[in-house]
Amino acid sequence: MNARKHRRVGGGLVDPRQILASFPEAVRKLHPRVMVRHPVLFVVEAGSVLTTVSAVLDPSVFSWLISVWLWLTVVFANLAEAVAEGRGKAQAESLRRTRSDTVARRLRSWRVSMDRREWEEERVPAADLRPYDFVVVEAGETVPGDGEVVDGVAAVDESAVTGESAPVIREAGGDRSGVTGGTTVLSDRIVVRITSRAGHTFLDRMIALVEGTSRQKTPNELALNILLASLTVVFILAVVSLQPMAEWAGAPQTITVLVALLVTLIPTTIGALLSAIGIAGMDRLVQRNVLALSGRAVEAAGDVNTLLLDKTGTITLGNRQAAAFVPVQGIAHDLLADAAQLSSLSDETPEGRSIVGLAERHGIRRHHGDLAHGRFVPFSAQTRMSGVDFAFEGEFCRIRKGAGSAVMQWVARRGGQVPEEAGWITDSIAADGGTPLLVAVEDPDGVRILGAVHLKDVVKPGIAERFAELRAMGIKTVMVTGDNPLTAKAIAAEAGVDDYLAEATPEHKLARIKEEQAGGNLVAMTGDGTNDAPALAQADVGVAMNTGTSAAKEAGNMVDLDSNPTKLIEIVEVGKQLLITRGALTTFSICNDVAKYFAIVPAMFGGVAGYEGLEKLNVMGLHSPTSAIASAIVFNALVIVALIPLALRGVRYAPSSAHVLLRRNLSVYGLGGLVAPFVGIKLIDLLMQYVPGM
């Protein structure tokens, strides 16, 4: 994994300076409008106001001590969130500097005659660009906005966004056409169609994300918040109803004591850390160069059990190159090469361009001028073919090239014969992991297959080991590809996926995901192409490769800046760690509160006639009732600070089954939660006895 240049080192540790720096923000967050979003802490804040008023009216060391520590409890809770948010701020700053304030070279066109347009360049600020504007970017210039390359090929330096310094190729036509505003073109010239409005670019979204401004509570977080709020209501009722009983026993309690009791009982610890845990999860993904555009997706990632990947550009490098022309018997090699080149002259896909190039290397150089009144048939994922219709020396002619089955059908439909040999050729190319494209012509002599083009692609290195890791995590991998079954089988075997689906159209990919979801599976999908977009949108976790088309990036809910399909392993780990951390700290918090109840109630009623039985519960032998209560409140506040690093770093996660993790959690954090207050409160009480008046 590459380290983003402006990325901090040792992301898991909390720098004490960071805590200090976040203090003012924590105090600002005391505003009730902010606090109502955290119901448990809102109750603590209200309690702090009550005890402060009562301390003013009826001052004592005890009442002031409690008031001060209650306020500290709320500040500490806000501190957790402020520290979590603060960690993204520096990164956001450096991204802001990257955001381009460049001047764009916008193309303006007007119609001169029926079929001719005149183009003119104008210089406008990047901020004025709108979707469907066309801009020119040349070597040395900054891409002024997000868009799609519609003409040309260029090497682009994307390090400003991805942190990766090796240049990448961006080109028109294929699945590597997306460019991001703020990146720099290193060579050549491209024309870009702008796809996003100023202020809504990828970089803007990235800034909002690392700053946490766009973060919304996830469904799980909302549910937990409701649970915590309900618990709080129950405890409020319990404490309020305690007073009549205490009065009946002749020991009415002060407001300060009642508020203190309430605060120790309600789940303040998890209430304080909940949002920091969520922010930290998103942050951990940013550290791994993944932008999660929804918190829900991060949670879902923790439970994913099926991963769908497309082949070209995701499992393979995606730069399918023509390697050879394989003619059928009786057809000259150069005739096939010529036909293949003619059909590709306007095919702006990488495949198309590489066919033109290969034919040129065989000495065949055709130009658009050779195609009188030619009509180009562009490639589509549905037809899996492309080609051209034109007139040649007065004769009408059609050429088609494409997936074996698609071209065979085309030939058969037009009344031609498909020689058995065509099947052998495509099969032998496919069995090798290559992609065969059959080439066929239709002219006055009839319809026939000329041969095949052998397209070669390379499986990304090291991918098989990573898929084995996914298997160990209980995740099934399925490759879905538009390619033929034999190629799919060969690549599937080489990459080590569990299953594959060949000849898949965008609809098939989508259907396969719905099918998996109907079977109760949580599905992740990684892809880069426009033909992956529907599937990326349907998947619970849709990870788009940053190299991909803007349609793919819009459809997914995560973008991997490294365009590494096995990144999902890390995404799943972060998701699991998020869920486990939240579970562990909730367990700890609730067990803690139960233990505090036993520490504080006996002390409160110690020595009260009729409640002597409770005295026996005072196993801790605390100094005095006031000291016991104050110690519990101090402990309650300090626990929050002590757990901030754990909330931000996440509970240690080692891949193992869900029930092993659950058991481990319950024992470590449940037991820890029960024992910690007895030790902590006793220690604080030992100090508290030296405070005069306690």
Q: Binding-site residues for ATP, please?
A: 347, 351, 379-386, 401
Give me the helices (H) in 99-138, please.
Answer: none
Question: Quick one: 286 or 385, whose CB is closer to ligand ATP?
Answer: 385
DSSP 144-176: -S-EEEEE-EEEEE-HHHH---S-EEEESSSS-
We find the least distance from the C-beta atom of residue 532 to Mg ion, in angstroms, to be 6
- Is residue 310 annotated as a catalytic residue, yes or no? yes
Per annotation, catalytic residue among 133, 204, 283, 310: 310
We find the least distance from the C-beta atom of residue 36 to Mg ion, in angstroms, to be 47
Q: Cβ-closest residue to ligand ATP? A: 482
The residues that touch ligand ATP, with contacts defined as CB under 6 A, are 310-313, 347, 349, 351-352, 379, 381, 384-386, 401-403, 435, 437, 481-483, 529, 531
Question: Quick one: 22 or 549, whose CB is closer to Mg ion?
Answer: 549
Under 8 Å between Cβ of 153 and 190:
yes
**What is the bridge-based pairing of β-strands 385-392 and 372-377?**
antiparallel
Under 8 Å between Cβ of 170 and 108:
no
We find the least distance from the C-beta atom of residue 287 to ligand ATP, in angstroms, to be 29
Site for K ion in 630-659 (CB under 5 A): 636
**Residue 312 binds Mg ion, judged by CB under 5 A:** yes
Q: In angstroms, rounded to a whole number, what is the distance separating the alpha carbons of residues 539 and 543?
A: 9
We find the least distance from the C-beta atom of residue 437 to ligand ATP, in angstroms, to be 5
**Which among 322, 318, 306 is positioned nearest to 531, based on CA atoms?**
318
Q: Which residue has the tokens 């495949």?
A: 351
Site for K ion in 211-270 (CB under 5 A): 268
Catalogue the E-assigned strands of 340-394: 372-377, 385-392
Binding-site positions: 347, 351, 379-386, 401, 528, 532
Query: Residue 361 contacts by C-beta under 8 Å, 6 or more apart in sequence?
Result: none
Question: How deeply is 505 buried, as exposed, middle or buried, from its count of CB atoms within 10 A (0-12, 13-18, 19+)?
Answer: middle
We find the least distance from the C-beta atom of residue 130 to Mg ion, in angstroms, to be 29
Q: In angstroms, rounded to a whole number, what is the distance separating the alpha carbons of residues 75 and 29?
A: 8
Site for K ion in 426-485 (CB under 5 A): none
Q: In angstroms, rounded to a whole number, what is the distance separating the alpha carbons of residues 649 and 638?
A: 18
We find the least distance from the C-beta atom of residue 161 to K ion, in angstroms, to be 43
CB atoms within 10 A of CB 28: 11
Site for Mg ion in 611-640 (CB under 5 A): none
**Residue 78 binds K ion, judged by CB under 5 A:** no
Residue span 524-563 as binding mask against Mg ion, x where in contact by CB under 5 A, dash where not = -----x----------------------------------
Residue in 133, 146, 171, 310 binding Mg ion, rule: CB under 5 A: 310
Question: Quick one: 157 or 175, whose CB is closer to Mg ion?
Answer: 175
Angle between helices 255-265 and 39-57 (to 10 degrees): 160
We find the least distance from the C-beta atom of residue 318 to Mg ion, in angstroms, to be 7
Residue 566, contacted partner among K ion, Mg ion, ligand ATP, none, CB below 5-8 A by kind: none
**Which among 573, 553, 555 is positioned nearest to 563, based on CA atoms?**
553
DSSP 454-517: EEE--BPTTHHHHHHHHHHTT-EEEEE-SS-HHHHHHHHHHHT-SEEE-S--HHHHHHHHHHHH
Residue 381, contacted partner among ligand ATP, K ion, Mg ion, none, CB below 5-8 A by kind: ligand ATP
Residue 482, contacted partner among K ion, ligand ATP, Mg ion, none, CB below 5-8 A by kind: ligand ATP
Residue 351, contacted partner among Mg ion, K ion, ligand ATP, none, CB below 5-8 A by kind: ligand ATP
Residue 126, contacted partner among K ion, ligand ATP, Mg ion, none, CB below 5-8 A by kind: none
Residue 268, contacted partner among K ion, ligand ATP, Mg ion, none, CB below 5-8 A by kind: K ion
Under 8 Å between Cβ of 64 and 690:
no
Cα dihedral value 195, 196, 197, 200, nearest 10: 180
Total interface residues for Mg ion by CB under 5 A: 5
Question: Quick one: 256 or 531, whose CB is closer to ligand ATP?
Answer: 531
Binding region for Mg ion (CB under 5 A):
175, 310, 312-313, 529
Binding region for K ion (CB under 5 A):
268, 593, 636
Catalytic residue numbers?
A: 310
